[in-house]
Amino acid sequence: SAHVDVAPFDGTGRTSDGHHIELLANVSGGAEAADAARAEGVGLFRTELVFLDRHEEPSVAEQTAAYRQVFAAFPGRHVVVRTLDAGSDKPLAFLPAAREQNPALGVRGYRTARARPDVLERQLSAIAAAAQAEGADAWVMAPMIATAAEARDFAAACRAHGLRQAGVMIETPAAALCADEILAEVDFVSIGTNDLAQYAMAADRQSGPLAELTDAWQPAVLRLIRLVGVAGAAAGKPVGVCGEAASDPALAPVLVGLGATSLSMAPRALDAVAAALGAVSREQCVAAAAAAAGASGPREARAAGAAVLSSTA
Ligand code: PEP
Ligand code: MG
């Protein structure tokens, strides 16, 4: 239950046998970042939320100021900034989209940079300026990537701005299936389980009646995550999970077993996730992942994962 007492997160995520799993926070602005400062860093800074109510694109100076607030809350620590994820469930007034029959399958996320490369350029300038001003360890990633070519173009744009850690989100099945090729182009990836489940299961993430389909415990979703974890290990590059799945303390060890090297979550989930990881060995995580991914459905996956994790290794 939500009221089980757990020891507070001590600032370093690890399994019972001492494997470090970075536990990071999802934030959407400076105030939230200040509240999240006990996390090891930020695994997902959703920049579009800073600008949701704006009718004109914020200037580079305004953007720089907003990004500096988040970097300032995590001095010297790792902060992953996501470039604008406009469209579909996150419409932005200053980036008007054409009317589309299927906005979730339309021009959204990184795809908006095709028509408006200038908006991405200004955002990358602002991120670079903010990182420089704060001496931040800034990592930058693009949302809604479907091909290795998009990953290559985004990484080139980041490097042109002197941003040295360029990554992409894995939130389409295409990106998960091509994780090897994508990882060859970037320094890290981060799995967005909210959209990955939506697109894998062809079920709207905002639909209540379809919630069982968009459950991250769906074996199809777990198997896609495993593809990315295996590709990340082969490439020797970090694989984060930053969707809501990372804040489920029962799922966190399974994600680690599937190959996640960091988990980024709502700050209130840090204690429970840290406690869940600290109670199990890495070997148990791997066994739980195999059991859950091999299950016949989400309920069976939960039961299989829990059975492995509650057994003493
Ligand atoms: C996701 O899709 O899982 C994700 C982290 O991004 P968002 O929820 O902002 O789409
Ligand atoms: Mg997403």
Residues 66 and 29: beta-carbon distance below 8 Å? yes
- Is the complex ipTM more than 0.95? yes
215 ligand 1 Cβ < 6 A: no
Q: Torsions phi, psi of 223, nearest 5?
A: -70, -35
pLDDT tens, N- to C-terminus, the chain (313 residues): 455 678 889 889 999 999 999 999 999 998 999 889 999 999 999 998 888 888 899 999 999 999 999 999 999 999 999 999 988 888 888 887 788 999 999 999 999 999 899 999 999 999 999 999 999 999 999 999 999 999 999 999 999 999 999 999 999 999 999 999 999 999 999 999 999 999 999 999 999 999 999 999 999 999 999 999 999 999 999 999 999 999 999 999 999 999 999 999 999 999 999 999 999 999 999 999 999 999 999 999 999 999 999 986 5
Span from the CA of 311 to the centroid of ligand 1 (angstroms): 33
243 ligand 1 Cβ < 6 A: yes
Among positive and negative, which fits the CA dihedral 293, 298, 299, 300?
negative
194 ligand 1 Cβ < 6 A: yes
Quickly tell me which residue has 């069976």 as its tokens. Answer: 300
83 ligand 1 Cβ < 6 A: no
> Which atom of ligand 1 is least distant from the CA of 242?
5
Ligand 1: which of 171, 204, 225 to mutate, most ligand atoms within 8 Å of CB? Answer: 171
Quickly tell me which residue has 């091999």 as its tokens. Answer: 294
Residues 30 and 12: beta-carbon distance below 8 Å? no
The protein residue whose alpha carbon is closest to atom 6 in ligand 1 is: 192
Q: What is the predicted pLDDT for the residue at 87?
A: 85
Ion ligand 2: protein residues whose beta carbon lies under 5 Å: 171, 192, 195
Q: What is the predicted pLDDT for the residue at 1?
A: 46
214 ligand 1 Cβ < 6 A: no
> Which atom of ligand 1 is least distant from the CA of 26?
5
Among positive and negative, which fits the CA dihedral 113, 116, 118, 120?
negative
171 ligand 1 Cβ < 6 A: yes
The protein residue whose alpha carbon is closest to atom 8 in ligand 1 is: 194
Q: What is the predicted pLDDT for the residue at 266?
A: 96
